[in-house]
């Protein structure tokens, strides 16, 4: 085995650190790319679901109002009026169509839940990477001046994240919120 | 007498939508929260059709189908998979397990009841 083979088979400390960082970065990126993709998909699902639900709700409201008007008219004119019966039948069909659209839209929760489960899995993967680094941190006791700028940058990123992170969403349901008058 | 359908899904909202749609079409519905619950309820009573999700904790849809097809009283009962998954490999697995059909979520209530009517009247 010559010197070149040895270098390729057993990289020096700097080479090992470079491989480690490249591996961590690649692994972390893979997880985060999946999370980003799932978030975009969930956003699209939510938008589609809420859009459909809003349309169905407004259409139902409008149809029920028209149904009421037809009912009142038929009570005034007597129930045997053919036109009233046809109008009732048509409105009933419209209501059924809108309810079906709402039923389809309401299933977004099931898909959103699966996406959230996937994202939680990927975030768990990222956590495992950091846990592994943390567990083996003692190995970095080797004097490595090149790591100092990296440590400083990480500290800066941490401070920026803490300063600019949006507040957490506190709602856990869709019950209406309290009203407070000052 | 109305036909009874066993609806197996770990999503509460999905079960609610299934029950709403099938009851509106005149069917009786028994709900189960996962494959194991579905299997227990299928053993307790005989149902006319089974609708099951695939990805559920404990026992998934394919395992439920295999278990049901292993019981004499469910060898001919239609079993529909209702899932977000739609790739050919898992569909083939479903078919091999004994699924009668494959519906991809979200379902349209009218289309669902049409399929159910076609299978059990």
pLDDT at A142 over 80: no
Domain boundaries, chain A: 15-135
Of A99, A104, A114, the CB nearest to B106: A104
- For the stretch A106-132, pLDDT in tens is 888 888 888 999 899 999 989 988 888
Pick the CATH number of B4-120 from 3.40.50.2300, 1.10.579.10, 3.50.50.60, 3.90.850.10: 3.40.50.2300
Of A100, A108, A109, the CB nearest to B109: A100
- For the stretch A23-72, pLDDT in tens is 888 888 889 999 999 999 989 888 888 888 999 999 999 999 998 888 88
- For the stretch B82-93, pLDDT in tens is 988 888 999 999
Domain boundaries, chain B: 4-120
A110: chain B residues, CB-CB within 8 Å: 9, 11, 13-14, 84, 105-106
Cα A55 from chain centroid (whole Å): 23
B109: chain A residues, CB-CB within 8 Å: 99-100, 103-104
Between CA A55 and CA B25 the distance in angstroms is 24
CB contact under 8 A, A109 and B11: yes
CB contact under 8 A, B110 and A100: yes
Between CA A116 and CA A110 the distance in angstroms is 10
A106: chain B residues, CB-CB within 8 Å: 13, 17
């Amino acid at each position: 085995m010559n010197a070149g083979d040895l270098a390729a088979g057993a990289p020096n400390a700097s080479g090992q650190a470079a491989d480690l960082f490249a591996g961590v970065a690649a692994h972390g990126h893979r997880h985060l790319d999946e999370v980003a993709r799932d978030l975009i998909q969930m956003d699209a699902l939510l938008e589609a679901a809420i859009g459909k639900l809003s349309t169905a709700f407004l259409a139902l409201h409008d149809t029920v109002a028209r149904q009421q008007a037809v009912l009142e008219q038929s009570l005034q004119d007597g129930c045997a009026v053919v036109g009233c019966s046809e109008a009732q039948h048509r409105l009933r069909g419209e209501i059924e169509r809108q309810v079906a659209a709402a039923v389809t839209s309401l299933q977004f929760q099931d898909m959103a839940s699966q996406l959230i489960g996937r994202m939680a899995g990927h975030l768990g993967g990222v956590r495992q990477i950091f846990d592994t680094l943390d567990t083996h941190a003692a190995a970095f006791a080797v004097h490595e001046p090149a790591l100092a700028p990296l440590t400083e940058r990480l500290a800066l990123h941490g401070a920026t994240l803490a300063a600019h992170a949006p507040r957490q969403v506190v709602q856990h349901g869709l019950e209406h919120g309290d009203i407070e008058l000052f | 007498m109305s036909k009874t359908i066993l609806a197996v899904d770990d999503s509460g909202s999905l079960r609610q939508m299934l029950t709403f749609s099938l009851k509106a079409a005149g069917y009786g519905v028994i709900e189960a929260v996962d494959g194991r619950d579905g299997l227990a309820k299928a053993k307790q009573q005989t149902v006319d059709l089974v609708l099951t999700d695939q990805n559920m904790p404990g026992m998934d849809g394919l395992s439920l189908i295999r278990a049901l097809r292993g019981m004499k009283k469910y060898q001919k009962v239609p079993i529909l998979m209702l899932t977000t998954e739609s790739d050919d490999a898992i569909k083939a697995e479903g078919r091999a397990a004994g699924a009668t059909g494959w519906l991809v979520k979200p379902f349209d209530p009218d289309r669902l009841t049409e399929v159910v009517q076609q299978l059990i009247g």
